[in-house]
Structure 1
Amino acid sequence: LLLAGGGRIDADLVVVGIGAVPNSELARAAGLMIDNGIAVDERLCTSDPDILAAGDCCSFPLSHYGGRRVRLEAWRNAQDQGARAAANLICAGEHIASVPWFWSDQYELTLQISGLAEGTAATVRRDLEEGAFILFHLDGEGRLIAASGIGPGNAVARDIRLAEMLIAAGAKPDPQALASPDIRLKKLLAA
């Protein structure tokens, strides 16, 4: 590879992840506000309160992250937002309150991530059976903001789901409890 600065990198294989560009041309032509996609509020309303947007094409504020505006390219987000937008069209007034969640199968391993790790001040590792593990990401105040785990099959699924619930609750779990596979996350959630 020849780099823009003149450097060179020898490689046998290159994997390039360039992201995705949201299709917002129609929204832009309609005069709607664009901010890394169609900008919506917590009820999925665009800058025109009579027009809602949902899914991969829109960016929205996440209350669990101080109102930070994000755009999520995941099927669960699109499904949840589609249902919420439909409810809001009939004046339900439902707000976006979900925690981001992603998964990917990589050969015999499954990767699951809950939350957004940006702003991590400390990371705690919990080792599970079969070589699986979870990394819990805490902010500077000790609040759990994300969890990422990898293992065979569904080895991390239950704990990632419980971590998602802890994130939604704004929990500040004891790091030693997070690290210990003997302490169930459900117990931390109940506390």
Structure 2
Amino acid sequence: AVPNTELAEAAGLAIENGIAVDERLCTSDPDIYAAGDCCSFPLPHYGGRRVRLEAWRNAQDQGALAAANLMGAGETMVSVPWIWSDQYEFTLQIAGLADGAETTVRRDMEEGAFILFHLDGEGRLIAASGIGRGNAVARDIRLAEMLIAAGAKPEPLALASPETRLKKLLAA
């Protein structure tokens, strides 16, 4: 998808793979904010790397944040990217961004479901992707999302073991 940035360009706003915004979703004009699929923004969990996410939850989160900041909140974007897709009877869920991963650990679950945990070179969990029937991976992907947000460095063997409760890793 290509973001429609013609109006922003005509207004003189900075464009970088979409309307460029800062961590508060403010454009290069301090009186204009942008949110959703049309804007690229820095992700704090990935060293400030600028991305543009085309997912409903991102648009929802950013819309609320932009509105709050227009009212003077001064809050920053801190959510971890998350998407899902139904593929017939299977649901695919992804938290984080896996590019840059140096290690991938697989956790097999019941009824053929599995999750792949992606760690960077320092052992930090940067993404998790899972597939299964219905909501088979939903809880663990949500917990992985929280581990990513916390900058966790879980042991790969613990991630691979279905007996390890991710909630316990989060508490550690």
Relative to the length of structure 1, the TM-score reads 0.90
Which residue of structure 1 lines up, in the alignment, with residue 71 of structure 2?
90
Relative contact order, CA 8 A, sep 6+: which one is greater?
2
Query: Are 1:26 and 2:26 counterparts?
Result: no
5+ residue gaps, structure 1, are 1-19
Cα distance between partner residues in 2 of 1:42 and 1:173: 27
In 2, Cα distance between equivalents of 1:183 and 1:143: 17
Residue by residue, what CA displacement relative to the aligned partner does 1:154-186 show, whole Å, maximum 9, x if unpaired? Answer: 000000000000000000001000000001000
Q: Which residue of 1 aligns with 2:108?
A: 127
| Identity score, percent | 85
Corresponding residue for 1:116?
Answer: 97
Residue by residue over 1:27-66, the C-alpha shift from the partner in whole angstroms, topping out at 9 and shown as x without a partner, is: 0000000000000000000000110000000000000000
CA RMSD of aligned residues (A): 0.3
Structure 1 residue aligned with 2:132: 151
CA distance in structure 2 between the aligned counterparts of 1:179 and 1:97, rounded to whole angstroms? 27
Unaligned stretches of 5+ in structure 2?
Answer: none
Structure 1 residue aligned with 2:80: 99
Q: Specify the code of the residue in structure 1 equivalent to 2:13.
A: L
Q: Which has the larger radius of gyration?
A: 1
Q: Does residue 176 in structure 1 map to residue 157 in structure 2? A: yes
Q: Among residues 80, 100, 107, which one is paired with 2:61 in the alignment?
A: 80
What TM-score results when the alignment is normalised by the length of structure 2?
Answer: 1.00
Q: Show the counterpart of 1:187.
A: 168
**Partners of 1:57 and 1:151 in 2: how far apart?**
31
